[in-house]
Amino acid sequence: MKLLRYGPAGQERPGILDSEGRIRDLSAHVTDIAGTVLSDEGLARLAAIDPASLPLVEGTPRYGACVAGTGKFICIGLNYSDHAAETGATVPPEPIIFMKATSAIVGPNDNIEIPRNSLKTDWEVELGVVIGKHAKYVSEADALDHVAGYAVINDVSERAFQTERHGQWTKGKSADTFGPTGPWLVTRDEVADPQNLKLWLEVNGKRVQDGTTATMVYGVRYLVSYLSQFMSLHPGDIISTGTPPGVGMGMKPPTYLKAGDTIRLGIEGLGEQNQTVVQG
């Protein structure tokens, strides 16, 4: 299934894509794509509904973030060896973990705002993992049982805030609009292998990132298990799993976003995002 949330910001309604790629309204069955809806049982109830029996949503409404109620937005740094190399960093012996504020979450096609005093706002296409069932001290073998599904993430980053202002990376990752999520939550049964997905990103029509999750240093199973050793993972939590090479910081010379730029990105089978950059 491809689950989604549509409508004005703050007033999103739950929906599902039908076989023809049209939005069908789920409001009569669930209040939102969140909480117990993300459990195996909750997803099974939705899967039993014939999308053709649901009200068709007319027009082209705004997509909101595809999951609600996110308590934690956990990011993994330097998780592609070729991306680490382009930034001059070494592959870490354990995953680098940092947090992105949940207030950064926006819809997949909402504008990206360059923060005030920003000089180095950058892009990162990433595979997002959405937790569906409480996870604590889980094994790698059982890790995917705790995943509801997957989504496209743009881990927008302000590099000067991140690396030149001292302290942790969080302040360079958490500005409003720095977490476009969606367009859909694709349930895990539709993703045969999360370690075999192509992902890409274009800036102003030029392809700058073109990679595959096969080159992740630490895969999805490992990351869910690893994180669950340090903190409980709850339904709606998002793990953003790192980016392949091609970010602005790694270019020669480095290239960063400016107002008026357009970004298009996607992951095989998970949909696309389109954003316009504006000055915040």
Are β-strands 262-267 and 2-6 bridged in parallel, bridged antiparallel, or unpaired?
Answer: unpaired
144, two tokens: 């995917």
Distance in angstroms (rounded) separating the CA atoms of residues 213 and 193: 10
Tokens 């549509």 sit on residue:
6
Confidence tier at 130 by pLDDT (50, 70, 90): very high
Residue bearing the bigger pLDDT, 84 or 19: 19
Number of other CB atoms surrounding residue 232 within 10 Å: 14
pLDDT at 81: 78
Q: Is the pLDDT of residue 172 over 90?
A: yes
Q: Give the domains, in start order, of the chain with CATH numbers.
A: 2-53 (no CATH), 73-279 (3.90.850.10)
pLDDT at 166: 82
The predicted-structure confidence for 91-117, as pLDDT tens digits, reads as follows 789 999 999 999 999 999 999 999 999
pLDDT at 167: 77
Single-letter amino acid, residue 190: E
Distance in angstroms (rounded) separating the CA atoms of residues 257 and 247: 11
CA 179 to chain centre: 7
7, two tokens: 């409508």
Question: Radius of gyration (Cα) for the chain, nearest Å?
Answer: 18
Its pTM stands at 0.96
pLDDT at 135: 98
Mean pLDDT, residues 133-158 taken together: 98
Distance in angstroms (rounded) separating the CA atoms of residues 266 and 264: 7
